[in-house]
A and B are shown apart, each in its own frame.
Chain A
């Protein structure tokens, strides 16, 4: 994963609440075995509608998505994060998020900016009034601001996620620094395994 320190760009106001991961990327897109190319499927059920905000020429090229509460609830599909990033989004600003979606985002470097509802409403108003406004998200300082205005808000980031974003760390590598602890745990755990339960063809071995 690439390090992320500052995201600067234009923001698109989605103005929808309860955008679940089925809306972000519908299930026909989940059949792929690749990790790329999901941007074309982003919000695909809504993209046919010429009035849908992503079809508004003024917001083409925006890399920050401003959404309503409970963004990314529902299915665990990480494809939702891949689709948002493949489309070009680097950060999502919303009043609340689905837990699994939030987790998945942190693994890929998609920045989750959690603000109070009224702050999201204000930011939405600002970028609706002027679609050319630049928005700046500083992961290091945990601040989102609209330069050339006095609008600036702090947001919280889990310290670990912040570190990981700033350094571009891979989770598996981080965990494997603790391999000795894992091996020690395995030696003392008596949790059953599948050893001897199934044969090579997956049939249950008789007791």
Chain B
């Protein structure tokens, strides 16, 4: 019998029941909750007289709606305010730990799970947010769910699930200098397309992946959904264990070592067979910028805006034309010549301490270009405090960046941080969909270092271009 993949190991350990002809009932170890996809779920519980089965496996934070102005400023949007209040009220009513706006542990749900050590290897983790795949960096099976499923997990701590297929994405060799985790995942999404991972759980492997820090691995797993995959996984190794040691919700001393030994079992067996497999060579990966309106529309920073004529498939040609019209771009235009209005460094993809360090190193000693608004939005209060201890806030402020309070912010513009119509951004977030960052806004996805260099020069640029 062939060995098991990491996915199969976690799956098998969480099967509650697999009745004939019905979906498997999968146990959920950790349910993360935020204000946007939960109010209707809590309402459903109330309507049916149901309780939360395991408040001790449920953790909530405010993130999508929170303004990133100083926390003393009120939430001016009454609809956002109501939603934030509803989260607190619901959590208190049902006995769930919640981090409201301004709380020392508050932040983007996919930042706080890992930094608190709540995210651990081998777990099943769900959240009403498609970027839940982030937690897969720890060898946990983590995926996004809809509001009905949120209600289902609150009530039963399980989910009926059809088993996904497995896909190995191997990135061989060492990533060249200047290539970040973001570029690696943009290369993967570009290769797979927005639907290439559909129905699959991806396991990322190979030297370029295992060389990454946990922050980098989270960036890669985060964007699994952009290739259509249900989840992304990376096997547990020394890097995983070292990150977890000392986190608030992991044990200490001998108990930690005992846990760590268990965690180390969360790797795919050597003879495990995947349903699909793709291989990339790290040496071919370069810094990327998205040019279109889906995250698979990537081009090298050194390249030019593509032409619809490059595509054989009429559907793709059409969608390219539509994307270019929306983005206001001309085929053949060098990417470096495109000016930007806004630079956003933040989101569950790239707002961790390492991202901020990398961006600050590029920005240090420079000034944001005239006419460009540059925002840095740390992923959580913990990230923000650490960055301030390291003096990163002062580097950003001296260079003319805004240093803001944590939240999802301009990644999806549910709070006041939005693009205006026709405004162009270089953004470290995960989606360049039409209107994602504000109605009529034009989003280009980039890594934190490219974002910082772009802020300084006012057009897409690499750290080398600013002499960093």
Contacts and interface: CB of A to CB of B under 8 A. Distances in A.
A181 B435 contact: no
Contacts of B56: 193-195
Contacts of B54: 193
A197 B120 CA distance: 14
Contacts of B116: 197, 204
A75 interface: yes
A172 B40 contact: no
Given A158-B162, A195-B56, A204-B116, A172 B155 contact: yes
Contact of B435 (A34, A45, A108, A191): A45
Contacts of A31: 36, 65, 77, 79-80, 82-83, 414
B222 to A, nearest CB: 13
A32 B40 CA distance: 9
A100 interface: yes
Contacts of B22: 160
Interface string B414-456: 1000000000000000010111100100000000000000000
A41 B59 CA distance: 30
Contacts of A193: 54, 56-57
A31 B128 CA distance: 14
A18 B319 contact: yes
Nearest to B95: A200
A69 interface: yes
A5 interface: no
B434 A35 contact: no
A183 to B, nearest CB: 10
A77 B36 CA distance: 9
A178 B16 contact: yes
Given A182-B16, A182-B156, A22 B146 contact: no
B97 A74 contact: no
B25 A203 contact: no
Interface string B148-166: 1101100111101010000
Q: Give chain B's interface secondary structure class.
A: loop
Interface in B159-205: 160, 162, 194-195, 198-199
Contact of B158 (A22, A30, A175, A198): A175
A81 interface: yes
Interface string B35-62: 0110110010000101001101111000
Given A31-B36, A31-B79, A159-B21, A191 B195 contact: no
A175 B249 contact: no
A75 B414 CA distance: 13
B333 interface: no
Contacts of A181: 16-17, 25
A104 B148 contact: yes
Nearest to A104: B146
A107 B148 contact: yes
Given A17-B315, A78-B146, A107-B146, A191 B29 contact: yes
Interface in A2-39: 17-18, 20, 22-23, 26-28, 30-35
Nearest to A107: B148
B64 interface: yes
Contacts of B58: 194
Given A30-B37, A103-B145, A175-B158, 18 more contacts: A20-B431, A27-B436, A31-B77, A33-B43, A73-B228, A78-B148, A99-B199, A160-B160, A172-B151, A175-B25, A178-B16, A186-B27, A189-B27, A189-B29, A193-B56, A194-B97, A198-B97, A198-B105
Closest 10 CB pairs of A and B: A78-B146, A104-B146, A107-B148, A33-B39, A76-B144, A78-B147, A31-B79, A193-B56, A76-B130, A22-B433
21 contacts: A20-B294, A23-B435, A26-B435, A27-B436, A30-B64, A31-B36, A68-B315, A70-B194, A74-B225, A76-B128, A77-B37, A107-B149, A160-B160, A175-B25, A175-B156, A178-B19, A181-B16, A182-B16, A189-B29, A194-B58, A198-B97
